[in-house]
């Protein structure tokens, strides 16, 4: 079991994921999309979750939202604890994904900005109607008041000509505008937690910077916590307070953002940082790619999943899977370079 000594007291946490396993049962085999993940999201902070495509970032988020389609997907083990302000702890894995309790939490207490807004927004309704529907569902306002709240949110996300955009359909908006609408929709009910899954993918760098700045401003306004999921380490460096690095469904390193960037420990994290272009960096003319490919999700792997690609692999790496353990204050890593392999 992939365990972690939690780096924060539970009282500081708003969301705690404990030994989470999410699998997809397919004809070709079992996909261990999330394979023993442990994470803590602190109140009023941002947790970055980073890794290559297929490492389990988005499935972790979908598991928290209880949006895993069953069948073929299923949470088979673990807890997802939501710590409410009134002291009540709710394990989301125990709730019916389609039941009234989870529906009440989804959108009101935990909201999500999806990777591609064009597939997340309903093309048959105006953006104002879609935001208003969420507000009416969770705040019991009448239609007029809900539309006023929708307009207020469009102003907050600084969309151009908000009164006109309120009555626009998704296809009539640019990619940056649709992403702002998604953020307005997610934050319309002042959720305690915002999960942002690749919120700036496919946007140009100028719009990307605007979206990130907007999310920071809105976080300060409503005191929300953000789980930022991305493969972009530049976004992580700007947004995150702490970072979890995932590889093939597991967290392999967990540290404060400055610590991770200045003192990466896991060879995979080092590889990710070496493969990122940095303006003004001296002494490195060529980017260093990570050798090999991510294993097939249905593969049965003994030992560390990164071992076939690791430049510092040892015999123990092929035999035993390392646990996530403390290697420095508030810095956790799953690697036999920093622990004694089993005899």
Mean pLDDT, each 10-residue run in order, the chain (343 residues): 39 90 92 93 94 90 93 94 90 94 90 78 91 86 90 88 92 86 86 88 78 84 90 89 95 96 95 77 66 80 90 92 91 93 74
pLDDT value, residue 267: 96
Residue 203 falls within a domain, yes or no?
A: no
Cis peptide before 71 (omega within 30 of 0): yes
Residue 269 falls within a domain, yes or no?
A: yes
Full strand arrangement of the beta sheet holding 46-50: 110-113, 193-197, 225-230, 46-50, 242-247, 250-256, 331-333, 325-328
Q: Are 138 and 203 in contact (CB under 8 A)?
A: no
pLDDT value, residue 82: 96
Collapse the DSSP code of 142 into the 3-class scheme (helix H, G, I; strand E, B; otherwise coil) and give the result.
Answer: coil
Residue 328 falls within a domain, yes or no?
A: yes
Residue 116 falls within a domain, yes or no?
A: no
Residue 169 falls within a domain, yes or no?
A: no
pLDDT value, residue 342: 77
Residue 130 falls within a domain, yes or no?
A: no
What's the pTM value of the predicted model, to 2 decimals?
Answer: 0.87
Identify which of 297, 295, 289, 325 has the alpha carbon closest to the alpha carbon of residue 307.
Answer: 295
pLDDT value, residue 177: 86
The tokens for 190 are: 């002042």
Residue 206 falls within a domain, yes or no?
A: no
Identify which of 268, 259, 256, 240 has the alpha carbon closest to the alpha carbon of residue 335.
Answer: 268
pLDDT value, residue 49: 96
Q: Count structural domains, the chain.
A: 1
The tokens for 107 are: 């959108």
User: What string of DSSP letters covers 279-320?
Assistant: TT--S--S--PPPS-PPPTT----S-TTGGG-TT--GGGGT-
∠ CA 200-206-210, nearest 5°, is 65
Q: What is the dihedral of CA 251, 252, 257, 260, to 10 degrees?
A: 180
Residue 329 falls within a domain, yes or no?
A: yes
Q: Which residues pair with 50 in a beta bridge?
A: 230, 245
pLDDT value, residue 202: 67
Q: Domain holding 92: CATH number?
A: 3.40.50.300
pLDDT value, residue 215: 83
User: Whole domain around residue 26: which residue ranges?
Assistant: 10-109+223-338
Q: Are 181 and 167 in contact (CB under 8 A)?
A: no
Q: Which residue has tokens 């976004």?
A: 235
């Amino acid at each position: 079991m992939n365990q972690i000594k939690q780096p924060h007291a539970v009282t500081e946490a708003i969301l705690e994921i404990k030994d989470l396993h999410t699998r997809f049962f397919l004809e070709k085999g079992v996909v261990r999309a999330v394979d023993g993940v442990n994470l803590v999201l602190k109140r009023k902070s941002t947790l970055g979750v980073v890794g290559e495509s297929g490492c389990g970032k988005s499935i972790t988020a979908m598991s928290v939202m209880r949006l895993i389609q069953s069948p073929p997907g299923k949470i088979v083990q673990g807890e997802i604890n939501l710590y409410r302000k009134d002291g009540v702890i709710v394990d989301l894995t125990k709730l019916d994904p389609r039941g009234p309790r989870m529906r009440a939490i989804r959108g009101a207490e935990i909201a999500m900005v999806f990777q591609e807004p064009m597939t997340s927004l309903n093309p048959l309704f105006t953006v104002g109607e879609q935001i208003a529907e969420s507000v009416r569902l969770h705040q019991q306002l009448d239609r007029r008041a809900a539309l006023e709240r929708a307009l207020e949110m469009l102003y907050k996300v600084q969309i151009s000509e908000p009164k006109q955009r309120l009555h626009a359909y998704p296809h009539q908006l640019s990619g940056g505008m649709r992403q702002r609408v998604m953020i307005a929709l997610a934050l319309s009910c002042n959720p305690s937690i915002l999960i942002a899954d690749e919120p700036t993918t496919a946007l140009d760098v100028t719009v990307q910077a605007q979206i990130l700045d907007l999310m920071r401003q809105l976080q300060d306004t409503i005191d929300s916590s953000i789980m930022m999921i991305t493969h972009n380490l530049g976004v992580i460096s700007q947004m995150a307070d702490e970072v979890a690095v995932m590889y093939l469904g597991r967290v392999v390193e967990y540290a404060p953002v400055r610590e991770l960037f200045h003192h990466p420990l896991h060879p995979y994290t080092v590889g990710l940082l070496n493969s990122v272009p940095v303006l003004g960096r001296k002494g490195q003319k060529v980017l260093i790619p990570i050798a090999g490919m991510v294993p097939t999700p249905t593969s049965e792997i003994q030992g560390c999943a990164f071992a076939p690609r690791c430049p510092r692999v040892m015999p123990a790496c092929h035999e035993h899977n390392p646990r996530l353990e403390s290697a420095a204050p508030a810095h956790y890593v799953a690697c036999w370079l920093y622990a004694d392999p089993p005899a």
